Amino acid sequence: MKHTPKKILPEALLKSVVIKGTIILTAAGILSRVIGFFYRIFLTRLIGAEGMGLFQMIMPVAGIVFAVCSAGVQTAISKFCAERKDRGSWLLAGLAVSFPLSCIIAAIIWFNSDYIAVRFMFNEACAPLLKIMAFTFPFATFHNCVNGFYYGKKQASVPAFSQLLEQIVRFCAVFIYAGISVENNEEVTVLCAIYSNFCGEIASTVYCAVMLFFSRIKAKSSVKQKRRQFAGKVIAIIKFSLPLTANRVLMHLFQSAEAILVPAQLIVYGFTKSDALSLYGILTGMAHPLILFPTAITNALAVMLLPSVSADQAGNNDNHIRNTMDRCLTFCLSMGIMSTLLFIFYGAPLGAILFDQPEVYDFVLVLAWLCPFIYLATTLGSILNGLGKTTVTCLQNIAAVGVRLIFLIVLVPKYGISMYLAGLLTSQIMVCVCHYIKLSRMLHIKMNARGWLVIPAFYSVISTGCSLLLSEVLIRTSVFSEFWRLTICAAVACAVYAALSIRPYRNKLR
């Protein structure tokens, strides 16, 4: 009998492709988040906490449209492009599904912006913001699908630069808009944030279109294919993306409900409308993005893992999937435990200084405990999706949403914002546990408490302890300001942790 070779990349090559892609996406993600971080600081100074709260109220609408039009389709394009040869036709099939849908939804929101703002968001000030935002949807859908195509090809550089370019243009646009407004003695409103988002999406779309034009994509072969074959690809895209789309839509619907319910429930608790909106703006527009800053790494890893796991599954290479999951658990939990300590001792006071909002300190202290679970849930969910278990991830996320709703509706009116934070933590723990149980049953993975928890926690405590000793020395010398003292100590903690853990990680990557 002839032995049929497995049509997958060799393990060493595949590993190097995943690592290389993760590094590229991580570098771009960190730069993008640094730019986005200063963008939020600048924006907060321009429009204030209440304006930031208004901005955060309409952002979930964009999230819902993204979920409906391209979230699941992007993942489907990435998966099928990783498994099949005719990648150009899969991209066209995905665009055929998502792009017309985005145009239709954009038109619906444009013509019904007043109704949506008053009836669903309970704030008529959102109407003009929704109209402008509607124009961004087709552009965002196009470049999201193109990014999925390049993820499937394991060419992370194009999506990485696209993400970076979007942030740069967005920051420049809001800076120019604010300068023009000040020059003309006009008040700077939240409209500057919406216009800057629009400029960023256009820039990213133009770049992706140019890269496609100059890429050697055999588009002609896909055009010449029979209609049945192309229709089959469209159906395959829809079937795979439906559970993911349902999951994302439900999550974004809940985020939209949160944007409306959290201020409303805080009013029931006893806050004024203005104070409730400001508190929500500080939480979601300042503290939460600070906690999510390190997800530039885990999101990049998750994006590269999906096509890699899909290729391994197509080649029946379960051993490599198990090894991949073990390394991911070690990495995510290590980063999560260390991040929790860093945010408690350094991130919370730094956030309060940067945003000039004392409430940021209290929020970050609580949200810091989310770090291990947020980072882990993203990676485990990507592995499950790569294995084709999109329905499982959808159902488990829905269950977690239910827990958050209970906390929000039942407990927040009685006990305040602390119960909302408790609901966030409970739901994230639930998602991680459910994802892990499903994967461990599928792949027969054994718990590695020493490698996943004990050693990372030990290294984290030592690293943080060394940095706190340095902090005491710097306080007594009074050479540095509080901002630079915290920054230097956080950097030292990271350096010590890297020095302690580099050897075990090197052994795992061999």
Tens digits of pLDDT across the chain (510 residues): 344 443 434 444 444 555 666 677 667 767 777 787 778 778 877 877 777 777 877 777 887 888 888 878 888 888 788 776 667 788 888 898 999 999 999 999 999 988 888 887 777 888 888 888 899 999 999 988 998 888 877 777 888 888 889 889 988 888 888 888 878 887 777 888 888 889 999 999 999 999 888 776 554 444 444 666 777 888 888 888 887 787 778 777 776 777 778 888 888 888 887 888 788 878 877 888 888 878 777 776 666 666 667 666 666 777 777 887 788 788 888 888 999 999 999 999 998 888 888 888 999 999 999 889 988 888 888 888 778 787 788 788 888 888 888 898 899 898 888 898 999 899 999 999 998 888 888 887 777 888 888 988 999 999 999 999 998 888 888 777 888 889 999 999 989 988 887 765 454 444
In single-letter form, the type of residue at position 36 comes to: G
> What is the rounded distance in angstroms from the CA atom of residue 325 to the CA atom of residue 284?
31
Answer yes or no: is 482 within a domain: no
Answer yes or no: is 137 within a domain: yes
Burial readout 283-321 (b: 16 or more C-beta within 10 A, e: otherwise): bbbbbbebbbbbbbbbbbbbbbbbbbbbbbbebebeebb
Q: How far separated are the first and last CA of the chain, in Å rounded?
A: 34
Query: Assign residue 3 a region: left if phi > 0, alpha if psi is -120 to 50, beta otherwise?
Result: beta
The DSSP annotation for 410-474 comes to IIHHHH-HHHHHHHHHHHHHHHHHHHHHHHHHHHTPPP-HIIIIIHHHHHHHHHHHHHHHHHHHH
Burial readout 187-196 (b: 16 or more C-beta within 10 A, e: otherwise): ebbbbbbbbb
Answer yes or no: is 410 within a domain: no
Question: Please, what's the largest Cα pairwise distance for the chain?
Answer: 82
> What is the rounded distance in angstroms from the CA atom of residue 196 to the CA atom of residue 479?
39
The residue segments making up the domain with residue 134 are 9-250
Answer yes or no: is 105 within a domain: yes
What domain count does the chain have? 1
> What is the rounded distance in angstroms from the CA atom of residue 31 to the CA atom of residue 37?
10
SS3 294: coil
Contact, 166 vs 101, CB < 8 A? no
> What is the rounded distance in angstroms from the CA atom of residue 447 to the CA atom of residue 159?
35
Answer yes or no: is 499 within a domain: no
Q: CB neighbours of 16 closer than 8 A, spacing ≥ 6?
A: none
> What is the rounded distance in angstroms from the CA atom of residue 317 to the CA atom of residue 311?
9
Residue 397 structure tokens: 């996320």
Answer yes or no: is 329 within a domain: no
Answer yes or no: is 497 within a domain: no
Among 427, 121, 60, 105, which Cα is nearest to 253's?
60
Contact, 260 vs 122, CB < 8 A? yes
Answer yes or no: is 311 within a domain: no
Query: Assign residue 317 a region: left if phi > 0, alpha if psi is -120 to 50, beta otherwise?
Result: beta
Among 392, 387, 405, 389, which Cα is nearest to 431's?
392
Angle of helix 295-314 versus helix 11-66 axis, rounded to 10? 120
């829905």: which residue's tokens? 398
> What is the rounded distance in angstroms from the CA atom of residue 269 to the CA atom of residue 247?
31
Burial grade of 125 (CB within 10 A; 0-12, 13-18, 19 or more) = middle
